Amino acid sequence: MASSDPNKLMAKADKLTKLSLTRWSADWKSATQLYEQAAIGYRVAKNHENAKIAFEKASKGQEMLSSPWDAAKHMESAAALAKEVGNWTEVADFYKRASELYMVCGRPQPASDALAKGARALEDAVPDEAIQLYTDACSILEEDDKEQMAFDLYRAATCVYIKLEKYTDAATFLLRWGLAADKCSATNSQCKAYLSAIIVYLYAHDFKQAEKCYNDCSQIDVFLRNDHGRCASKLLSAYSEGDIEEIKRLGQSSTISNLDHVIIRLARKLPTGEVCALKTEAAEEQEEPLDENDLT
């Protein structure tokens, strides 16, 4: 049976499921089996389009048979094949559907895994969609108190943001990562996340934000006392003094070299030329209050 033409199998299965005068209820059991065999046959023959369709139908069959786990598994296979084909919307849809089915099974971990796989597949093609999927995956895990697993997802999402040069979004996501780390008391990851956020802000020339971020994060004892906190404060003071050498030196320091490699790249490029501008800006701000005093 397995060696027979997948097309024939598909046709047979379709006949079983199509309702007509002679058939009053679809025979999903045998149909699903036939669909699965056809799908495997197509995959071996590298016929991605048909294999995808076969897997889709098989998944629907499993759903009808009330086995959401198998249905989800088939959906994932269908999605992987859709990726081969290059149909990105279908990829996203399939992975989302698979994740929903996993949730129906009551298994959030595979659900978020499915979304993560989808996001990874879409990273290059449709990065916005990928980010959406990553965010959803993170929320699923957080609801289930499994933040530890979400770290990889946060990391990947941050990389995508930085690739897209959406620095404020990246920084916000990093702060969210810090929050998740805080909940599971992963202090090292938390401090790394905060330091990365400050670096991203600095890279985006947003000195005020960086300072605000630093002030916020210093509320947290762990960060204040940590190596990363000290490095951050040194970086900010070097920035406010306009000391390019110091910034370069800090960029080479070991604290920064232990962060994620995307962040390291940003840090190495850090003194992005506007340091002197920052210094004069700060100086001007100090002068203004004096002027007011003079006037009065």
Partner 1 sequence: MSVIDILTRVDAICKKYDKYDVEKQKDVNVAGDDAFARLYAAVEADLESALQKAESASKEKNKASAVAMNAEVRRTKARLLEEVPKLQRLAVKKVKGLSGEELAARNDLVLALPDRIQAIPDGSAPAAKQSGGWAASASRTEIKFDSDGRFDDEYFQQTEESSGFRQEFEMRKIKQDQGLDMISEGLDTLKNMASDMNEELDRQVPLMDEIDTKVDKAAADLKNTNVRLKDTVNQLRSSRNFCIDIILLCIILGIAAYLYNVLKK
Footprint on this chain of partner 1 (rule: CB under 8 A): 146, 148-149, 151, 184, 186, 188-189, 254-255, 258
Residue 93 or 227 having the CB closest to partner 1: 227
CB of 46 to partner 1, least distance (A): 36
What is the tally of helices (H) and strands (E) in the chain?
17, 0
CB of 257 to partner 1, least distance (A): 8
CB of 8 to partner 1, least distance (A): 39
CB of 134 to partner 1, least distance (A): 18
Cα 100 to Cα 111: distance, rounded to the nearest angstrom = 7
Cα 50 to Cα 48: distance, rounded to the nearest angstrom = 6
Residue 82 or 186 having the CB closest to partner 1: 186
Placement of tokens 């509320």 in the chain = 219
Residue 64 or 184 having the CB closest to partner 1: 184
| 28 touches 53 (CB < 8 A) | no
Cα 158 to Cα 264: distance, rounded to the nearest angstrom = 13
Cα 217 to Cα 202: distance, rounded to the nearest angstrom = 15
CB atoms within 10 A of CB 67: 15
Placement of tokens 């700060």 in the chain = 282
CB of 244 to partner 1, least distance (A): 23
Residue 209 or 226 having the CB closest to partner 1: 226
Kind plus residue range of the DSSP H or E element containing 115: helix 108-122
CB of 187 to partner 1, least distance (A): 8
| 239 touches 247 (CB < 8 A) | yes
CB of 10 to partner 1, least distance (A): 37
Tell me which amino acid residue 226 is. Answer: N
Cα 157 to Cα 174: distance, rounded to the nearest angstrom = 9
Residue 89 or 109 having the CB closest to partner 1: 109
Residue 126 or 184 having the CB closest to partner 1: 184
DSSP annotation of 204 reads: T
Residue 168 or 258 having the CB closest to partner 1: 258
Cα 278 to Cα 261: distance, rounded to the nearest angstrom = 27
Residue 219 or 254 having the CB closest to partner 1: 254
CB of 188 to partner 1, least distance (A): 4
| 116 touches 134 (CB < 8 A) | yes
Residue 197 to residues 17, 140, 207, 210, Cα–Cα distance (Å) = 55, 23, 12, 8
